[in-house]
Amino acid sequence: MRKTLSLLLFSVLMSLGLTAWGAEKTLNLGVIAELTGDMPAVGASCRNAAEMAVKEINAAGGLQVGKEKMKINLIVEDNAGKADQSAAAAQKLITQDEVLAIVGPNASRYAIPASEIAESSETVLITPWSTNPKTTLDANTNEPKKYVFRACFIDPFQGGVLAKFALENLKAKKVAVLYDVASDYNKGIAEVFKANFEKLGGQIVAFETYTTNDKDFSAQLTKIKDAKPDVVFLPNYYSEVPLQVQQAKRLGLNVPFIGSDSWGSDELLKLGGADMNGYYFSTHYSAENAAPVAKKFITDYEKAYGAKPDDVAALTYDAFGLLFGAIKDAGKADREAIRAALSTLPSYKGVTGDMKFQADSRDPVKSAVILQIKDGKFTYFTNANP
Amino acid sequence: MSDGIVYWLQQILNALQLGSIYALIALGYTMVYGILTMINFAHGDVFMIGAFFCFMAATMLGLPFAPTLLLTILGTALLGVVIERLAYKPLRNAPRVSAIITALGVGLFLENFTLALAPYPKHIPPLLENVTWDLGGVSLSSLQVIIICLSLGLMIVLDYVVHRTPVGMAMRAISWDKTFVPLMGIPVNLIISITFAIGAGLAGAAGTMYALAYPVIDPYMGIMVGWKAFISAVVGGIGNIRGAMIGAFILGGVEIMVTAFFPSTYRDFVAFSLLMLLIMIRPYGILGQPRTQKV
């Protein structure tokens, strides 16, 4: 019995050793995605794009690191749509799987806790979709974090774009806002929008809140209707917006609704149907108006997953593009070297446009797009540059 | 009508709708507690399953409203009986804490089982032609009328069943004494099964109406609503059917009115402080009676 056991142990050790000393070396990269919970469409897009980016590199023989080509081993963790599990997933990827860098989580309320772990463990984390400024800022000093980057624009920019759009394109003088006060992203952009819109001379006539998982917004919407706004701003996630719009219509509130990049999932169209037609939202890119570099990504993605890539997919792909570029530049599989290379990376041409990290900032400078929902589809409306 | 009156009438209507939804779920809580003195924490998740049954009947079978509602009620009633047989019956004589923990476990099982099958939120197609009447500025939808009438109707039926029928008499007898009632020839297991079937069937009806009123459903939708319905049942006096109804309208009313009066951020804080105050003044709930414990 003891003999077989030790033989078994020996063979296990041998096989472990063989993979470690095998012909080719591999790099571990981690992804934290919202695969379950209240925004599974976001997590699925993130995972799909990540797997695609890695497959492309591995099919080409691996990533050039210094003198050798290394294959990439992707480890995807689910955060279940929870802040604590996001932090736990980051901890596991860093200490147990010893990943070189992490991509994700996407929603700000999950990206912020995960970014704290990455920062204190000195591991690069790039969030594709988290637009809240706090994700890349140290909570105590308000200085940029050293190891946390993002592939998207930030809410102060997006809020400004939307405020200008409401005032100039929709000719709105009075705007009402309804947002989730328990979620970092929603709260952040609602406040930025309010400040920008009032600075431009507009008036916020109602500033109403609810908490995550609420389904009844009738009291707030009745209050909003009473304030007689020209436009209602709903900076909330795609699974909640259709309910808010439908309830507003049932209460006889028939004004245009506008939203932010959290609207940009095909699920919004499935859940909202014809009720969403005619409304506008700001986002990161438009599949129909994308740069030439994006065309290949869009066709490949459609072929692999049977759907047009949404903004999360495009940004995840870009996050990997940035990361691959940084690893190549660093020339070695070292966390600190990658951080240094990423912050000095020259302008990167991505699916979602050109981006570059400015000195002392972890937020790339890039433009935004305004989309309109028309006949159950997202259509390009206008561009907004920083 | 002046704007102010229109505004308040609309808010009262909103409160009635929200209260009715809470009431439909609270009835199931209070019923099971009344008979077995057991808090069935899986009830909110049975309600969620009800919404998913409604989704399946409406989309996969393409049924209209009435058969969907009926099928959902039957489905959840069956589920309620199965849960009781498999999870609660073996623990009927165990300490009460064990039963509560089991109920929480059943709830988690239902949530994660649904999550594994349907991770994406689902959209319920409009099963009813929704007409919105404009009464001098106040919007009243046919859906609101149906929800309010259905919850009032079910409460009256339930009250009748418990207080005026032989089955109801047997239920009340079991709630009084589980040891001697079988000696009178009352089939205890059958009556308890019926209790769970009715309770879960009510959750199914609530799930259907909720899914029609708020047509985006997900596996976690039962948690918060379940808690609020439980609170309604406690405020009204748990175990008392009319109390559950009153408690639900109080909770719905307080939630809506706090939002109407104060900035909406204060809603849960003010609403639940008020309810705590109420419980401090009347610890057994509004219509609840202190139970005499035999020592």
Domain boundaries, chain B: 3-281
Q: Which residue of B has its CA nearest to A247?
A: B214
Backbone φ and ψ of B44, nearest 5° = -60, -35
Query: What digits encode the pLDDT tens for the residues B114-131?
Result: 988 888 888 888 888 778
C-alpha distance from A235 to closest chain B C-alpha (Å): 16
Residues 6+ away with beta carbon under 8 Å from A16:
none
Q: Which residue of A has its CA nearest to B10?
A: A222
Is A315 in contact with A284 (CB distance < 8 Å)? Answer: yes
Residues of A in contact with B14 (CB under 8 A): 216, 218-219, 222
Q: Nearest 5 degrees, angle CA A34-CA A209-CA A380?
A: 60
Helices (H) and strands (E) in chain A, counts: 12, 15
- The rounded distance, in Å, linking the Cα atoms of A379 and B232 is 46
Count other C-beta atoms under 10 Å from residue A65's C-beta: 18
Going residue by residue through chain A, which has 386 residues, state the pLDDT in tens, using 9 for 90 and above: 556 656 555 555 555 544 544 456 789 999 999 998 888 899 999 999 999 999 999 999 999 888 888 999 999 999 999 999 999 999 999 999 999 999 989 999 999 999 999 999 999 999 999 999 999 998 888 889 999 999 999 998 999 999 999 999 999 999 999 999 999 899 999 999 999 999 999 999 999 999 988 899 999 999 999 999 999 999 999 989 999 999 999 888 999 999 999 998 888 998 988 899 999 999 998 887 777 778 889 999 999 999 889 999 999 999 999 999 999 999 888 999 999 999 888 888 889 888 888 777 888 888 899 999 998 889 999 988 76
DSSP, collapsed to helix, strand or coil, labels residue B35 as: helix
**Token code pair at residue A241:** 């917006």
Please name the fold of domain B3-281: ABC transporter involved in vitamin B12 uptake, BtuC (1.10.3470)
C-alpha distance from B206 to closest chain A C-alpha (Å): 14
Is A123 in contact with A32 (CB distance < 8 Å)? Answer: no
Chains A & B: contacts with CB separation below 8 Å:
92
Residue B247 has pLDDT above 80, yes or no: yes
Query: What digits encode the pLDDT tens for the residues B162-182?
Result: 889 999 999 888 888 878 888
Residues of A in contact with B216 (CB under 8 A): 215, 239-240, 242-243, 271
Residues of B in contact with A224 (CB under 8 A): none
Residues of A in contact with B220 (CB under 8 A): 37-38, 213
Per-residue DSSP letter, B179: T
Go through chain A and tell me how many residues it has.
Answer: 386
User: Are B123 and A250 inside 8 Å of each other by CB?
Assistant: no
Picking from B5, B7, B14 by the largest number of A CB atoms within 10 A of its own CB, the best residue to mutate is B14
Picking from B123, B129, B147, B268 by the largest number of A CB atoms within 10 A of its own CB, the best residue to mutate is B123
pTM (2 d.p.): 0.84
Domains with residue ranges and CATH for chain A:
25-153+290-355 (3.40.50.2300), 156-283+370-384 (3.40.50.2300)
Query: What's the whole-number average pLDDT of chain A?
Result: 89
User: Are A211 and B115 inside 8 Å of each other by CB?
Assistant: no
User: Are B123 and A209 inside 8 Å of each other by CB?
Assistant: no
Q: Which residue of B has its CA nearest to A182?
A: B265
User: Are A219 and B259 inside 8 Å of each other by CB?
Assistant: yes
